[in-house]
Amino acid sequence: MSTFMLTDAAIERALAPDLDVAAPDDFTKQIAQAIALKPRQSRLWVLIPAAWPRHMTLAARMMLLMLLLIVLLVGAVAVASLQHRAAANGHVIVARATEIVDVDPETGVSSILVTNRGYLFGVARSGDGSLISYWTSTIDGTTLEIVSENGDAVRQVATNVIPKPVGQGQIDVWSPNGRSLAAGVKVGGQARILLVDISSGDGELIGPVGAENPLWSPDGQWLAFSHIRDGRSVLSVMHADGTGPRDISGDLGDLDGSGTNNWSPDGAWIYFGAERDGFEESHIYRARFDANQAEQLTFDQTSAGPALSPDGTLVVYNRWGGEFGTNGLWIMDADGGNQHLLLADGNDDGWSNDGQFVLSEWRPPKGPYELVTIRPDGSDKQTLMTFPERCVSLCAHDLAWGQPRP
Amino acid sequence: MSQRFPVNVNTGVLAESLHSSSLVTRAQAGDQISFTRLIDERHHELYRTAWAILRNDADALDATQETCLGAWRELPRLRDPTRFDAWLMRSLVNRCRTALRSRKRVSVREVQLEASGGLEIPSRDRDVGDSLAANEAIRRAFARLRAEQRTYLVLHYVEHRSITEIAAIVDAPEGTVKWRLSEARRALENQLAREDR
């Protein structure tokens, strides 16, 4: 067969259904019968007195009316309190080359907290926002430092261990009570978990050799981490002092756990990603704390970087490649249901402390990348800052706003 | 020819007639007759699109039925009634994608090229034209494409959707749609080139 010269007309002729391709004549009737058998009940029937069952007694109706009034009153108070959204979240802290920048999400006004001759990265913030940790890299080496939220009292910590960071993607995590900082580090070329006592500034290496990606439990009693077992990266937990490690991720097939991401507020689940072949395939899982078993939450396309909302009900994550071009920031229920796109061309940078907003590095159709906040229902997208023109991808290597970054 | 609505290229929103918008609104409120009317006006187009992607009567019927029943359940969640058509078509292509993924092997119908009762034997020439063999070659190549690629080709070349309309259906930026459409076309050409070997 000779070589084809494929034309648009040829594609249309080949792929267009024949004229006799049609749905059955009774298709609409079948659909009508199907929906008649399963009428859709309004989910808000309780709020519509006209929709209340006719057999409801007078006493029941009065009770329901009183409940409706209470709900309306509580709702009004909640809406009024939303006006002061920034108070619960504090400012966004961003590392930009040799500076640590504080950005007020309410006003967009930024100020420089720290200026250093070295390159700054690996920013993490304590839960109450009062302390900020970061790494500094100079030709003399790297150091781990802590500064107060107003830029005062800079000090080096863990100088007794002299750890090295794992890289510029460093994600350190503060304990819930703010008294400790856990960091994945390299010591003697080996991955270890460093525990820093904030009060004394002393560091201690805990857990097995090879442990990395630490994550605190909500009660501060446990640390989840990843490490290599039988050639595969698995997830484990250990006591906060490094004792009693055990595996929790179960059998991930030929995928490698790519770190720990979030611990649900009820302590039951740890959310993480698992991938193979450099994220050629990547999915989101959650592992049970009390068993060696993981549940896969995403199945289609490439998904990674889950971030659980502070109330543990929603997960935002990155999804890209494959079908329909819906690359961007996606959101789903904590059990993996209701997966849908939240922000096209957005990257997942975690949640605000109050769970009202998601932080995202977003690529607009034209112009430089922007750091934006957006509500989980997709509304109220606001730009906090714009990155330099030369930055073409993942411009915010380091930022912190309450939740550990995914 | 399927019904098309004017496209507002500035915002990418399909401008819909008052008739359809009011039907959607009533259907959202639970009016089954309005919903049935919406489906009656659209089910042929849905079915033919599903068939073009899936190339199979049974699968196309399943996908179309599930789309319509799913639309009835989920319609209250649709915030903008003017986006009903894009929303419905998106649901359909998602179901077609799921159907394709569940297939273990794509079956390709072989065509016996032999002279019989007036059937023309295609001659060897470079113009694809009316060649029966060429049509079959394109279909075989199409059958080897990924679900996403098939969808883009059908929406554009068979359904004659504009880039803006496809972007609304697949919920992606227009630039992404253009790139993926050209990628799908290239993939079809590559598969066709394999036919020639």
DSSP-derived secondary structure for A333-387: ETTS-S-EEEEETEEEEEE-TTSS-EEEEE--SSSS-EEEEE-TTS---EEEEE-
Q: The tokens of B188 are what?
A: 């079809």
A14–B142 CB contact, under 8 Å: yes
Strand partners, A93: A102, A400
Angle at A315 between CA A103 and CA A40, to 5 degrees: 125
CA-based nearest residue in chain B for residue A26: B40
Report the residue of chain A nearest B172, measured CA to CA: A326
User: How much is the pLDDT for A95?
Assistant: 80
Contact B138 A15 (CB under 8 A): yes
Chain A partners of B61 at a C-beta cutoff of 8 Å? 23-24
Predicted pLDDT at A243: 92
Q: Which of A19, A35, A366 to mutate to test the interface with B (most CBs of B within 10 A)?
A: A35
Q: Determine what percent of chain B is predicted with pLDDT higher than 70.
A: 75
Ranges A355-369, B14-28, B123-137: which has the least confidence: B123-137
Whether the per-residue pLDDT at B19 is higher than 50: the answer is: yes
Please state, as a whole number, how many other Cβ atoms lie within 10 Å of the Cβ of residue A220.
Answer: 15
Tokens 């442990």 locate to A211
CA distance A273 to A343: 20
- Sorted by sequence, the CB contacts under 8 Å of residue A82 that are 6+ apart come out as A356
Cβ-nearest to A35 among B32, B48, B124 = B32
- What ipTM, to 2 d.p.? 0.76
Length of chain A: 406
Confidence (pLDDT) at B127: 47
Chain B environment of A17 (Cβ under 8 Å): 48, 51-52, 158
Measured CA to CA, the distance from residue A227 to residue A213 in angstroms comes to 9
- Which member of B43, B137, B176 has the closest CB to residue A325? B176
Contact A42 B76 (CB under 8 A): yes
Strands (E), A231-345: 232-239, 246-247, 256-263, 269-276, 281-288, 294-296, 302-308, 314-320, 328-333, 340-344
Note the pLDDT of residue A389: 60
In A333-352, the residues whose Cβ lies within 8 Å of chain B are 341, 344-345
pLDDT tier at B188, thresholds 50, 70, 90 = very high
Taking the CA atoms of A159, A164, A169 and A170 in sequence, report the sign of the dihedral they define: negative
Of B43, B72, B128, nearest to A6 by CB-CB distance is B128
Residue B125 has pLDDT above 50, yes or no: no
B132 touches chain A (CB under 8 A): no
The predicted structure's pLDDT at residue A385: 79
Residues in chain B: 197
- Partner residue facing B128 (CB), from A5, A17, A322: A5
**CA distance from start to end of chain A:** 53
* Interchain contact A6–B (C-beta under 8 A): yes
Give the pLDDT confidence score for residue B126 in this predicted structure: 43
* Chain B touched by A40 (CB under 8 Å): yes
Q: Do A15 and B61 touch (CB under 8 A)?
A: no
Q: CB-CB: which of B52, B75, B125 is closest to A15? A: B52
Which residue of B lies nearest to A340 if distances are taken between CA atoms? B171
Residues of chain A falling short of pLDDT 50: 1-2, 83-87, 323-325, 392-393
The amino acid at A165: P
C-alpha to C-alpha distances, A181 to A22, A62, A88, A178, nearest whole angstrom: 65, 54, 22, 8
- Contact yes or no for A35 and B36 at CB 8 A: yes
Phi, psi of B23 (to 5 degrees): -65, -45
Residue B70's closest chain A neighbor by CA? Answer: A35
